[in-house]
Structure 1
């Protein structure tokens, strides 16, 4: 063989092909042998073609079960579970290639051939098809391609994301372009791992975010998730969880659909759905993986759930046309890629014949329930004539109402064709490659076509959509569909909105809520929450060991509010504010003080005024009878000082009323302390007067009580003055006594001062009572000692009762109790000391005589013998000093 005309590279490739051929023919003799022969089915047309485009479609759903017996040589598995929908995808690629080859504006001088394989929805078959496509033979020698056929351009496929990930890793080694129509997994965005991967379907990054926004749009915070056990389901649901959990949504359960038949796992998933309180279930799966679960849901009659569908099954007729599916999946909301009408496709689909290839033959036998296999005909099956009417079919294959993935296949084929057209249309010396060279359409390298694909921008025929690739991806645009019932009982996909990833954030998700019909034909949006939302006035209390969406609504404490829904905590109101009844607003506290104008204040003023007037009236009566024996006998100065002190105490009680001011706080407290000091010191002087007259001279008996009164009063006055100078009482807002009120009251300033001041009054009271109690049995004038004793008893009873009453009240009633104690004690002293005198002066004036003021003799004999001398002495003493030492008894 003459190899001199070939380049060094051509010689090397020829040698490799010869080696490959020789090692097969000498497998039994040499050390190299064929390990296995691939069993692939599909379409192939490369003869007399300029460029070949590869295709890979999951026409079957799974591999057939193989015998694990190792006593015989294993064979490459065949496929089963024919899928009409994916078979339509494969036919769409053939339709697009025929359409391109018949056009004059795209590749006018180039005929496109094709090699299409069935990936059987499994990675192993996808890898087999990729290796066979690259090497050109089903007895593949990796990294070698033997033959001189037309160049390979790109692979359209391979179906699901996990299939494309496997093929993209192989194709990326050779920088061989791959154009996917259905692989939306976000992991394929990595140009480092998948440098030659492009797609006409949006990345699941957009779909996952769109699903999350849909959940947030309807306020669902408690959802379940189900994902296929592949890269599509794993990465899609992972991104969805990240977005919703960041927004506060909780996942009730997260289940995985098995890739191989596993009834126990499916039953467990259904039971999880039944046990969960989540009414919203998000499913990231293909229709193939979801079908076993749908069957089990139907058997268990799982209703009252809303399903959120990913684009891989939202328009799947294999799911939506399932008998009795409406009660289970009715109301489903899902995201679907763009749809389009492709003129001529329906006619192409109806024109297929069973004679072209094994795939179409199998399809024909399934839809018409016949066979072309001679052995099966002999066994009793009806023979296919090939004249069966395709027009009468009504199945997924011929249904072109929802061309979405089909439209992506159409766009993918046209993308490769436009890239090839740009490569072919390159002008010499203006090319993008080294030295401005162009690639030769008859022998270009894959990486050269990759340049044109990455920089491609074209318009899709019939639809006018402009396609370009941003780092290998297209923009994220989804139609939002709602499964609603048809009049015939089937399901129709109603368009209710869309999601556009390129729109402003607030306009990306557009939904017409009014056009949605939920499960069981309900118009009201379903609720799916672990716990109902906490209204304003409550806060969320997390349940221990449960997701954050499961909580109890705990009412805010008094003085705290929450003014938002689902508040994490309550807000403390400011010091002058308090929570309202609903605990959702802080309202100003009620300001409380004992006002002059309210009934209680008016009553106390009237009583105080009456007391002061009564005291003044008594003083007037005494003045009118100043020179009578009854008035003169008990030191009128002490009587008038006592009456002055009572007037002060009566009137100071009025100062306690009204809004506390600086002057009123100082006046009320000081007047009360000094007034009682004057009253008590006067009473103590009267009691001392009785005791001194029984034991001392008349001069001492008159002067000493007055000195006691003046000194004791001055001591209190000096103490109050020091108090007012150093730490005077002042008005304050008491916000601690009552939560809902601000009590305006007087702060004493310093507890030591006020305790000292009133302790002094208590000391005077104790001394007065002691003196009066001792003097009550002395031979006195008009029983003054007994009157003071009774008055002090009333005084003590009132103030002892005042302490618990004062401590048990709050607010303005504390002031009322204090005023009542002042008035009661003052009235008690006034009545006990002066009513007997006024009675004699006004009612019994005949008893107000000097002779009746003479003390009763201790014995009648002593009185008889010394009566004249005593009377003379008494009379002269009275005339000399202006007072009398005679006494009179009420019993006389």
Structure 2
């Protein structure tokens, strides 16, 4: 990536700052003599480590003085001193090498930090070799045996400071290990090749912010940040990730460090004006956060939920802020790296054993802190060495102990990482280290050594730097919970960047979260508008962000079935809108009062009555020649089939079920087979009686016997019905839904295949063709007692009925289908009755003289004589 001053304007500022500072820097090598260094501590050693800490929060460049003690800065400086003492006491790490340190107070100033960095990096006029005369073991023997320049610099705390000095250190191959700088810019190994840090890049912190927002459903928030490198780039990362997740940030504000109070006042008024913003991400340092909340107390910015960056999320000073302002805040802080031994070390510090050596005891960091804690006047001095017990006896007050927080572990790991890298660079074994390396060469070896170290650290049991010089991204999520008269930091979760994306955030369900609201257990709502429930849709407000909308009810006959639906959808045919879902329209069943039912039942009843009258007539006149000539058993079977066929239209107007649908097809197959089988057997029997030369032979056949006729007809019926029944088992009929043009739904019988109906129709056609063939051959038989011509007409009409019925059945649905089948079946049935029996009834009732045995014999004799003449 090409370095661009336009893209990163801070670098241009730093170069300008460097030009301004450099001419005024002292050319001397002894930093303790420079007027720019009012706060420092120094311990000589074989190898010097530099250290940059914010012992004070404010720096006045005009007076060159610092003010406002930062207790954390003192703690971190003491952590470095403790770590160096631990390493010096460890015979296995850097044997026979004594580490020294030179710690400087940067006073939270990038300008001051850069000034120190220039002095750290400048070549020294003194001997820059570990020793001028070496012993057999490589141990230096002369008095000029120490390096006056640091090999590695521990620090700085803020990203702005680290970017400034890392830019310079990169030119001098001076390695830097920061314990708190998290800006993602520092991961650029091209421009910051010698920079390392024991904390993760803040790109991980931005992900934690977004995971928390997503988890709690907050999509309308504000970001407030310091207008520095740390704040600028972390806010940019949050904004980029928020846009990907549909989270709106309508209020993005930054405050200047030089106009802190004025800017914060304006920001707080903006937050008070937009009550929809209930969640605020505050990205700044500890000092800046405390100043922000003091203004929030002043202007009564209460009831909001703050998400804290790692710069202030676990600051003890938050306990001094009113509960209704800061209570319920969520802190995203670095994973706690606590050291019990270091805590004991801090507890034992007093005026006799602290290591902040200076010529004037009153100017030490700890004495400044204790003077501030005890409210002592600056004129009162601490010239004498006093233990805690002595101080309590003489003054009636005790010296407050420093309390180690989790971040001190990152300072200790920075020092130990440096020590392990030195151990490798100096080619140390179990007893000695190489001590003849020039400063420039040693600095060149330190950076690759830092890249390859692995050791058991406080913050990570297997600590190592990744390829960008960062450590693993692990954060602790804490909740600031009011308890009685104080505020306590309660751990509620973890975030681990090494886990899969959907498993990085883990909140402890057993630990309840206390929120800053009247209902402290209710998750705050931070949206421009609440969720639009199913049955409504979102309409975005004009001149507002994409997270502001109104919830409008769906128009008639439209629905939305998801939360925050963008539009409402029309229901499909056969359904109706019930706001949040499309419900099926209830099936409309035919009623007895419907015109179609009335017409159908009237026609069916009329045809059934006619059929019954014919049947009754045939029973009454069963002994007459014409009736006897119709073969009574076959007549009864045929008329029974016709009567059963009338049941089909009645079943179709009932509420349809799978049973009714299957029963309709079985009845059709049974009835039609009864009719066609009877006609077929009857026609074949007549042909046999008149065409066989020996009539006695036909009388001996099975066809002429009554039981034989019954068996033949029964077999045909069983075969056809069985075929249709098996087909129904393989392809069961179901009740479907037919939607009419006026959105009414009717039930209809439908199957996955038309096979059962096709089999029935094909069977009927084949039967009709056979009957037509037989009837055509029997058309010249005596017409006064046989129905050969009537059978021919009947079969032709049945074929025409089927030809009409089949295409209409496949082309219609719903009520039309029911009407086609019902009227078609009824017509089919009545045609059979009228064509076969209307002429016979006419003879029986109107022309009874033709229904005598004498008339029958004469007709048969005339037919027989005509047949002999033809031969």
Q: TM-score band, normalised by the shorter chain?
A: 0.5 to 0.7
1:53 correspondence with 2:82: no
**After the TM superposition, which of the residue ranges 556-565 and 180-189 deviates more from structure 2?**
556-565
Shift in CA distance, 329/170, structure 1 to aligned 2, threshold 3 Å: same
Shift in CA distance, 231/606, structure 1 to aligned 2, threshold 3 Å: same
Superposition pairs of residues 65-80 of structure 1, within 5 angstroms:
66=62, 77-80=64-67
Contact 2:198–2:465 under 8 Å retained in 1: no
Q: How far apart, CA to CA, are the structure 1 residues paired with 2:98 and 2:312?
A: 35
Superposition pairs of residues 605-616 of structure 1, within 5 angstroms:
none
* Partner SS state of residue 527, structure 1: coil
Q: How far apart, CA to CA, are the structure 1 residues paired with 2:570 and 2:398?
A: 66
The residue aligned with 1:486 is 483
Superposition pairs of residues 581-660 of structure 1, within 5 angstroms:
581-584=578-581, 586-592=582-588, 595=591, 597-598=592-593
The residue aligned with 2:152 is 154
> Structure 2: 5+ residue runs without aligned partners?
1-21, 126-143, 609-648, 657-735, 749-813, 820-871
User: How far 1:455 sits from its partner (Å)?
Assistant: 0.9
Contact 2:124–2:148 under 8 Å retained in 1: no
User: How far 1:606 sits from its partner (Å)?
Assistant: 8.3
Q: How far apart, CA to CA, are the structure 2 residues paired with 1:183 and 1:397?
A: 29
Contact 1:224–1:254 under 8 Å retained in 2: yes
The residue aligned with 2:80 is 93
Q: How far apart, CA to CA, are the structure 2 residues paired with 1:490 and 1:453?
A: 43
Superposition pairs of residues 299-448 of structure 1, within 5 angstroms:
299-318=298-317, 320-323=318-321, 325-339=322-336, 340-343=338-341, 344-350=344-350, 351-352=353-354, 356=358, 358-360=363-365, 361-370=367-376, 377=379, 386-387=385-386, 389=388, 398-400=401-403, 403-425=405-427, 440=437, 444-448=441-445
Contact 2:347–2:402 under 8 Å retained in 1: no
1:566 correspondence with 2:564: yes
User: Which of 483, 493, 496 in structure 2 is aligned with 1:497?
Assistant: 493
Contact 1:216–1:244 under 8 Å retained in 2: no
Contact 2:59–2:67 under 8 Å retained in 1: yes
Contact 2:335–2:459 under 8 Å retained in 1: no
User: How far 1:369 sits from its partner (Å)?
Assistant: 3.2
* Partner SS state of residue 152, structure 2: strand
Any idea what the Cα deviations from partners look like across 1:194-222, whole Å, max 9, x if unmatched?
A: 11110011110111101100110111111
Contact 2:571–2:577 under 8 Å retained in 1: no
Q: How far apart, CA to CA, are the structure 1 residues paired with 2:561 and 2:299?
A: 44
Say how many residue pairs are matched: 576
Any idea what the Cα deviations from partners look like across 1:10-53, whole Å, max 9, x if unmatched?
A: xxxxxxxxxx99x999x9xxxxxxxx965113334354x21110
Q: How far apart, CA to CA, are the structure 1 residues paired with 2:163 and 2:399?
A: 27
**After the TM superposition, which of the residue ranges 461-470 and 81-90 deviates more from structure 2?**
461-470
The residue aligned with 1:62 is 58
Contact 1:592–1:741 under 8 Å retained in 2: yes
Contact 2:46–2:146 under 8 Å retained in 1: no
Any idea what the Cα deviations from partners look like across 1:287-310, whole Å, max 9, x if unmatched?
A: 112222100111222222111111
Shift in CA distance, 593/396, structure 1 to aligned 2, threshold 3 Å: farther
User: How far 1:266 sits from its partner (Å)?
Assistant: 1.6
User: How far 1:427 sits from its partner (Å)?
Assistant: 7.3
Q: How far apart, CA to CA, are the structure 1 residues paired with 2:388 and 2:120?
A: 35
Shift in CA distance, 598/479, structure 1 to aligned 2, threshold 3 Å: farther
* Partner SS state of residue 474, structure 1: coil
The residue aligned with 1:508 is 504
Any idea what the Cα deviations from partners look like across 1:310-367, whole Å, max 9, x if unmatched?
A: 111011112x1215x2121111111111221241332354443886363424334323
Shift in CA distance, 136/295, structure 1 to aligned 2, threshold 3 Å: farther
The residue aligned with 1:532 is 530
1:287 correspondence with 2:291: no
Contact 1:559–1:739 under 8 Å retained in 2: no
**After the TM superposition, which of the residue ranges 336-345 and 294-303 deviates more from structure 2?**
336-345
Any idea what the Cα deviations from partners look like across 1:813-860, whole Å, max 9, x if unmatched?
A: xx99xxxxxxxxxxxxxxxxxxxxxxxxxxxxxxxxxxxxxxxxxxxx
Q: How far apart, CA to CA, are the structure 2 residues paired with 1:52 and 1:739?
A: 90
Any idea what the Cα deviations from partners look like across 1:74-99, whole Å, max 9, x if unmatched?
A: xx622122211111111211121122
Shift in CA distance, 90/542, structure 1 to aligned 2, threshold 3 Å: same
The residue aligned with 2:295 is 296
Q: How far apart, CA to CA, are the structure 2 residues paired with 1:740 and 1:514?
A: 55
Shift in CA distance, 413/394, structure 1 to aligned 2, threshold 3 Å: farther
1:103 correspondence with 2:90: yes
The residue aligned with 2:69 is 82
Q: How far apart, CA to CA, are the structure 1 residues paired with 2:479 and 2:536?
A: 37
> Structure 1: 5+ residue runs without aligned partners?
1-19, 28-35, 67-75, 139-145, 432-436, 614-653, 661-731, 745-810, 817-892
1:213 correspondence with 2:211: yes
Shift in CA distance, 395/257, structure 1 to aligned 2, threshold 3 Å: farther
Q: How far apart, CA to CA, are the structure 2 residues paired with 1:552 and 1:483?
A: 34
User: How far 1:241 sits from its partner (Å)?
Assistant: 2.0
User: Which of 106, 113, 121 in structure 1 is aligned with 2:108?
Assistant: 121
Any idea what the Cα deviations from partners look like across 1:254-288, whole Å, max 9, x if unmatched?
A: 11132124433221111112122111111111111
The residue aligned with 2:674 is none
Shift in CA distance, 420/589, structure 1 to aligned 2, threshold 3 Å: same
Shift in CA distance, 606/734, structure 1 to aligned 2, threshold 3 Å: closer
The residue aligned with 1:665 is none
Q: How far apart, CA to CA, are the structure 2 residues paired with 1:529 and 1:456?
A: 47
Contact 1:41–1:359 under 8 Å retained in 2: no
Q: How far apart, CA to CA, are the structure 1 residues paired with 2:249 and 2:472?
A: 29
Q: How far apart, CA to CA, are the structure 2 residues paired with 1:534 and 1:384?
A: 71
Shift in CA distance, 442/126, structure 1 to aligned 2, threshold 3 Å: closer
Any idea what the Cα deviations from partners look like across 1:593-622, whole Å, max 9, x if unmatched?
A: 755x45676667789999999xxxxxxxxx
Shift in CA distance, 513/329, structure 1 to aligned 2, threshold 3 Å: farther
Report the TM-score when normalising by structure 1.
Answer: 0.58
User: How far 1:740 sits from its partner (Å)?
Assistant: 6.3
Any idea what the Cα deviations from partners look like across 1:87-112, whole Å, max 9, x if unmatched?
A: 11112111211221122121121111
Q: How far apart, CA to CA, are the structure 2 residues paired with 1:606 and 1:247?
A: 66
Superposition pairs of residues 675-824 of structure 1, within 5 angstroms:
737-739=741-743
The residue aligned with 2:191 is 193
Shift in CA distance, 416/453, structure 1 to aligned 2, threshold 3 Å: same
Shift in CA distance, 354/206, structure 1 to aligned 2, threshold 3 Å: closer
* Partner SS state of residue 540, structure 1: strand
* Partner SS state of residue 120, structure 1: coil
Contact 2:481–2:514 under 8 Å retained in 1: yes
Q: How far apart, CA to CA, are the structure 2 residues paired with 1:119 and 1:171?
A: 16
Q: How far apart, CA to CA, are the structure 1 residues paired with 2:437 and 2:177?
A: 21
Q: How far apart, CA to CA, are the structure 1 residues paired with 2:580 and 2:26?
A: 88
Q: How far apart, CA to CA, are the structure 1 residues paired with 2:450 and 2:182?
A: 18
RMSD: 4.4
User: How far 1:151 sits from its partner (Å)?
Assistant: 4.9
The residue aligned with 2:454 is 457
Q: How far apart, CA to CA, are the structure 1 residues paired with 2:465 and 2:355?
A: 36
The residue aligned with 2:836 is none
Q: How far apart, CA to CA, are the structure 2 residues paired with 1:304 and 1:321?
A: 16
User: Which of 468, 472, 475 in structure 2 is aligned with 1:471?
Assistant: 468
Contact 1:420–1:441 under 8 Å retained in 2: no
User: How far 1:135 sits from its partner (Å)?
Assistant: 2.8
User: How far 1:234 sits from its partner (Å)?
Assistant: 1.3
